Structure 1
Amino acid sequence: MNHTRIQQCLEAYTVLDFTSISKLKESRMQFLVLARAAEGVAMEQVLPYVKAEAEMVWQQYSAEIVRSVYYIADMSGAVLMCEAPTLEVMQEIATQFPMAQAGVLKFEVLPLKPYLGLGSLFAKSQP
């Protein structure tokens, strides 16, 4: 995917242009996004960005990018379930979060695909 297409996708999602979003939904992928505190970053360095980060999560939730968000149990970061047209677009969206831009969180974007193994376990035997 070229840079222009990534930019078009980002604009559709960040501007909340729901007409463009609905067109892009046809080929959306799911992602697990791990957002962890960067090594050596103290909680005091993270706190100034909490409100802006929460606002960005809400904007991306409203744009149907973020589907759910959870804290990691030890509070070292968060896990987001997301949808986007491509891995490149999702990675670019992740770089736009305030904590990513400030360098206090590191984002790892993991593309997901359906697990199809159950089908072979429950497939009917052919006579």
Structure 2
Amino acid sequence: MKVITFDRFKPGVTMETITPFLPEEVANVWRLWKAGIVRENYARADEPGVVIVFEVDSVEEAKRYVDDFPLSKKGFLEWSYIPVIAPLPLEALMDASVDVSEPYDRTR
């Protein structure tokens, strides 16, 4: 299962607050990425923060990893969790007359 997580700074926390701890935070995420636990990592475009996609068995497992992040341990962040799974085969919802054969990308 994939779990999409995103953080928000708690009130009063700024980039200046967290900057001294970023090398340790980034190294922690990088180790999890190399272990195949973090699949994707993004900077938020709408506000300071990150979006991390975990490959784990449950939201609880993702929470255990997030709780171990240095910035989480310091109480600087609030996290949200969205578990996602592969959608049911979309082709099953289509009429048999709908063409779903190759080439799949027909924009070229």
TM-score range, shorter chain: 0.7 to 0.9
Cα-Cα RMSD: 1.8
* Alignment match, 1:83: 55
- Superposition map of 1:1-127 within 5 A: 29-116=1-88, 118-124=90-96
Point out where structure 1 has 5 or more consecutive residues left out of the alignment: 1-28
Task: Determine what percentage of the aligned residue pairs are the same residue.
Answer: 31
Number of aligned residue pairs: 97
Deviation track 1:45-103 (CA, whole Å, cap 9, x = no partner) reads: 11111101100110110111101111001341000111112221111111001111111
Moved over 6 A (4+): none
Q: Which secondary structure does the structure 2 equivalent of 1:64 belong to?
A: coil
What is the CA–CA distance in structure 2 between the aligned matches of 1:123 and 1:51, rounded to whole Å?
53
Separation in structure 2 between the aligned mates of residue 123 and residue 111 of structure 1, nearest angstrom: 30
Match of 2:103 in 1: none
Pick the structure with more helix per residue: 1
Q: Which has the larger radius of gyration?
A: 2
Q: Which stretches in structure 2 are left out of the alignment for 5+ residues?
A: 98-108
Aligned-partner Cα distance in 2 for 1:89–1:118: 29
The 3-state SS of whatever aligns with 2:63 is: helix
